Amino acid sequence: MDLASDILKNAANPLTYQEIWQAGLQAGIAAKVRTAGKTPWNTLGAQLYVDVRDNDTSRFLKIGKRPARFFLKSRAAEITDEVTAKIERAVETPPKKATGYKERDLHSVLTYFAYANPAFNRGRPVITKTILHEKSKGSGYQSWTHPDIVGFSIPIDDWSSDVIDFNDLSDRNALTVFSFELKRSLTKATYRESFFQAVSNSSWAHRGYLVAAEIAEDDDLLAELDRLASSFGIGIIHLNLTDLSESRVVYPARIRTELDWETINKLCEQNHDFRKFLQSVKIDVSARKIHRAEYDAVMPDIEEYVAKLRENSGA
């Protein structure tokens, strides 16, 4: 709670718990939230909600909802009608719909995030490949059968070849396989279908993720996504098109120690892209060299590409 207090002492306006956390990171005082959990911002939010609700001597005020904002009681006199009206307008204004670009346009953004974001996969690059639904066999083998993108990571550049060879003899392989389901946006009206599509498509991998460019700032939605991620093990990634460096794993995926080989075999039979992915990974792991031409390209000018997406969406 000290983190929230320190940030709100100097905040110009009431802040959501996510904004408090980000401000704490920028100020270098985020360590004041003492938790071993993987989503400390949610721990901070839960602490604030409970403190305001149950503690009569709480230092904090909760203002509005969906999303709720917090402020210090000692600064309550600064909550003018103008500030309240500004908060209400922010709540009433629906998020812009990303109608100016297609879902598949986000593939290059995710490819960059998975490969270059140091906070993802402990700094090791994840190499991805798009799986085209239209190449699947059979009328029923479409968007609920396989993911939009698959990926893999293996520490070829970090480990010596002897270590990798020895790892192949053990029960725990160095190879990690990822599965991603992409959506332009997640809202209260769409999140359940999107999430369970990701469950259907991605539960076979070591780590499965639902990825979106827009996630509505709604406390109820975020709480439900947190619950679903904890229950089913599918993580949530936000690709921030406003500031690509702010893209992050909102809720981490549960790490599975074993792959679902029956599902992998079915996907391999149904889709040429998926079969080619398996073949390419097998060759690269055996050769101890990644042949990048076989996978999605990492754009060197990704910021310019994302700027065009923003322009097309009217953001």
Return averaged pLDDT per consecutive 10 residues of the chain, 315 residues in all.
Answer: 84 84 76 60 77 87 79 86 66 50 91 88 89 68 75 76 60 82 92 93 93 89 92 94 87 91 90 93 86 91 88 66
Where among 70, 92, 114 does a domain terminate? 92
Quick check: 253 and 234 in contact, CB under 8 A?
yes
Where among 92, 125, 158 does a domain terminate? 92
Residues 76 and 44 in one domain: yes
Question: Looking at residue 92, what is its pLDDT?
Answer: 46
Residues 182 and 38 in one domain: no
Query: Distance between CA atoms of 309 and 315, rounded to whole angstroms?
Result: 9
Residues 148 and 282 in one domain: yes
Domain interval for residue 70: 2-92
Quick check: 48 and 1 in contact, CB under 8 A?
yes
Token digits of residue 222: 């975020």
Residues 186 and 298 in one domain: yes
Reduced to 3 states, what is the DSSP secondary structure of residue 172? coil
Residues 164 and 266 in one domain: yes
Share in percent of the chain as helix, strand, coil (round to 5): 50, 15, 35
